[in-house]
Amino acid sequence: MQYQTYEHDVIVIGAGGAGLRAAIEASAAGCSVALICKSLLGKAHTVMAEGGMAAAMANVDDRDGWKVHFADTMRGGQYLNNWRMAELHAQQAPDRVKELEAWGAVFDRTKDGRILQRNFGGHRYPRLAHVGDRTGLEMIRTLQDHGIHQGIEVFMEMTAHTLLQESGPGSRVTGVFGYDRELGRFRVWKGKAIVLATGGIGRAFAVTSNSWEYTGDGQALAYRAGADLLDMEFVQFHPTGMVWPPSVKGILVTEGVRGEGGVLRNKDGHRFMFDDIPDNYKNQTAKDEEEGWRYVTGDKNANRPPELLTRDHVARCINREVKAGRGSPHGGVFLDIAWIKEKIPNAEAHIKKKLPSMYHQFMQLANVDITKVPMEVGPTTHYAMGGVRVDGETQMSTVPGLFAAGEVAAGLHGANRLGGNSLSDLVVFGKIAGEHAAKYAKANPASRVSDEQVDEAARRALAPFEKGARGENPYLIQHDLQETMQANVGIVRTENEMARALEDIQKLKARAANVGVPGNREYNPGWHTAIDLANLLCVAEAVTRSALDRPESRGAQFREDYPNKSEECSKFNIITRPVNGGAEMRVVRQPLTPIRDDLKKIIEEQAK
C-alpha cells in the first residue's frame, strides 16, 4: 500500500482553540509538531463560540475570584466534575486571557481600559471576557497568527482515520493513519505523543449548532485505541438555537443576548422563566423583572434574571412551554432583546454594537431585525460534557502517549457546562496537554510503526468502494441515526425510548458494515461520510448506554421516568470502554474521587 510518511515528536489532531494552544506549547518546548486539520486552518468550530471566555479577572465586579468561579463550575456540573480540573481551570483562566491579549487579541474594554466582562448563565458575577459576540473567532485568529510563526507543520483538509499503536488497543500510541480529503491519498504520521483536540459529537443528532466536522472523531479514535470514555450521557442542549426557516434550524443564538438583557417569553408574552427556579439557585436569582434588569446593568446588589440560569434548566423550561402549546409559531419561544428600548436611549445602536453577529445572522438568514422584534429560538444539540477520560494534571488518557484537550476530553464540566467555560477550557487545557505531551515525547524514544496496522487501516478505509453503488447509502444511514438520536436520546429521555434507540443503532451498525460509495477517492464526499459513520455510531451508542445506566435526572440528562436526582447516582461517573477485542461496549460505574477538604470548604462558603 502506498502512503506518504512524516515524522514528528508530537502530533496534534484538531486545529481549534485547544489544538492550536497545544501545538504552540509543544513547539515552544522544542518539539517538532504536526497539526492535522479536518478543514482549513482557521475554520475550526471554535469560531462559533460567540459570547466570551470565562475567567475570574474581577474587572467588572471585584467580588469575583478563582474560588467563586470554581464553586460555580462545580455546582453547574452537579458535583460530578473532576475537581482538580475545575480548580486548575479557575486558577489559570485569567492568565490565558492575558496571554491572548499579549499575542494580539482585541477585547471589548471598560471605561478605564481593562478587559470588559459580561454576565452569562450560571456565573455569579460578570466573568466573560469578550469581543462583541465574536469571541471564538478572535481566539482562533490570535492563536493562528501566533502559531504559524512557531515552526508547526500544518496539514489541512486531512482525516485522521486510525491511531497506530505498539501492540494493539491499550498500548502506547506510535502514530496516525489518515488521508487527504481532496485526493484521498493515504498519509502516515509517526510520533511519540498524540494530542486529540477534535471537538464534539453534535452531528449524531438531527438538530445541532455544530459544524460538519463534529462527528465524534476523537472520541471514537480513542475508544478504538482502548481508551476510556467518561460521562458520555451528558450532552448539552443549548436553549437558544434558530428554529426558522428550516434551512437554518439549530444554528446557535449566543447566550450573550440574554447576558445583555434579552428575555424569554411564550406566545402570550409571559416571562415563563420566573415560574421555575431551582432551589439551589433561589437565593441568587432575581425576585422580579426590575431586579433582573438592575443585575444586567451592573447593580451589585441585584440578583441574576432567571434567563441566566444554567443551560440545562433553561432548555427544559423552553421545551415545557412548547409541549404545553404556549410556544411560538414555528415550535420555539421568543427571545426578545428589542424590549430594552423601554429602558435605555439609542437601544438599536446599542444592540448592534454589543451583538453585531446576531444582528447580521438574523437579518441575513431569517429576515428578522432583532433591534425591533423578538427572535424565535429553541433548544439545539450543542456540547458534549463527556469524552475521553484524562488525568487532571496532565490530560493524558488511559492509553500511554495519548492526550486530549477541549471538548473531546471529559472531566471539567461534570453533568453540565456553564456558558463561557468552553473557550477558557480550550486554552487552559490545550496548554497543559501540549506541555505534557512534549515532556512525554522527550522522555520516550520513538516506536516502530507497524506496516500490518497501516495495511489493515487502509483496507478498512477502502472497503466502501468494494460495494460501490450496490452498497448502503452512507447519507441515509447518517440521517436515520440522527433521527433516532434526536427522537429517543434527546432533551427528555425514557428507558423505553433509549432502548429503542439502542436497537436502532445495532441495526444501523449492520447497515454501515455494508455501506458502499461509487466513484474513486478524489473529491468524494460520500466516502468521507462513510468513514465518519463508524465514529458517529460509536459515540451514539456510548451516549445511549451511559444514559440508560444513570437512572436519574441530573445536569444535562433529564429522565422523564426518573425526574429527580438520586443520592446513589451522585457518587459515580460512568465509564465506557471496549471489551472482547472491541466487539462489545461496556459501561462501568466509577466511584468519584473524594474532593480535597480545602476545596470542599470553598464550595460550602460560596453556597451561602
Percent of the chain with pLDDT over 70: 100
pLDDT of residue 161: 98
Joined together, the cell numbers standing for residue 37 give: 486539520
Question: Cα(411)–Cα(404) distance, rounded to whole angstroms?
Answer: 11
**Residue of 21, 238, 521, 577 marked catalytic:** 238
pLDDT of residue 280: 82
**Residue of 130, 258, 304, 554 marked catalytic:** 258
| Domains in the chain with CATH codes | 254-380 (3.90.700.10), 461-570 (1.20.58.100)
Q: What does the pLDDT look like over 493-541, one tens digit per residue?
A: 999 999 999 999 999 999 999 999 999 999 999 999 999 999 999 999 9
User: Is residue 528 among the annotated active site residues?
Assistant: no
Has residue 485 got a pLDDT over 90?
yes
Q: What does the pLDDT look like over 373-424, one tens digit per residue?
A: 999 999 999 999 999 999 999 999 999 999 999 999 999 999 999 989 999 9
Question: Cα(191)–Cα(48) distance, rounded to whole angstroms?
Answer: 31
pLDDT of residue 279: 86
What residues does 588 pair with on adjacent strands?
575
User: Is residue 238 among the annotated active site residues?
Assistant: yes
Range 424-444 average pLDDT: 98
pLDDT of residue 273: 95
Q: What does the pLDDT look like over 146-188, one tens digit per residue?
A: 998 999 999 999 999 999 999 989 999 999 999 999 999 999 9
Has residue 608 got a pLDDT over 80?
no
Query: Strands, E, within 268-348: which ranges?
Result: 333-336
pTM for the predicted model, two decimal places: 0.93
Q: What does the pLDDT look like over 297-315, one tens digit per residue?
A: 989 899 999 999 988 899 9
Q: What does the pLDDT look like over 547-588, one tens digit per residue?
A: 999 999 999 999 999 999 999 999 999 999 998 888 899 999
Percent of the chain with pLDDT over 90: 90
Give yes or no for a contact between 11 and 34, defined as CB atoms under 8 angstroms apart: yes
Has residue 1 got a pLDDT over 80?
no
Question: Cα(71)–Cα(67) distance, rounded to whole angstroms?
Answer: 6
Q: What does the pLDDT look like over 283-301, one tens digit per residue?
A: 889 999 999 999 999 898 9
* Ramachandran category for residue 326: left, alpha or beta (phi over 0 → left; psi -120 to 50 → alpha): alpha
Question: Cα(302)–Cα(297) distance, rounded to whole angstroms?
Answer: 10
In degrees to the nearest 10, what's the CA dihedral of 288, 290, 295, 297? 160
pLDDT of residue 580: 87
H-helix or E-strand containing 507?
A: helix 495-512
Residue type, 508: L
Give yes or no for a contact between 259 and 54, defined as CB atoms under 8 angstroms apart: no
Range 324-338 average pLDDT: 95
Give yes or no for a contact between 94 and 58, defined as CB atoms under 8 angstroms apart: no
Question: Cα(587)–Cα(574) distance, rounded to whole angstroms?
Answer: 6
pLDDT of residue 465: 96
Question: Cα(542)–Cα(489) distance, rounded to whole angstroms?
Answer: 11
Has residue 281 got a pLDDT over 90?
no
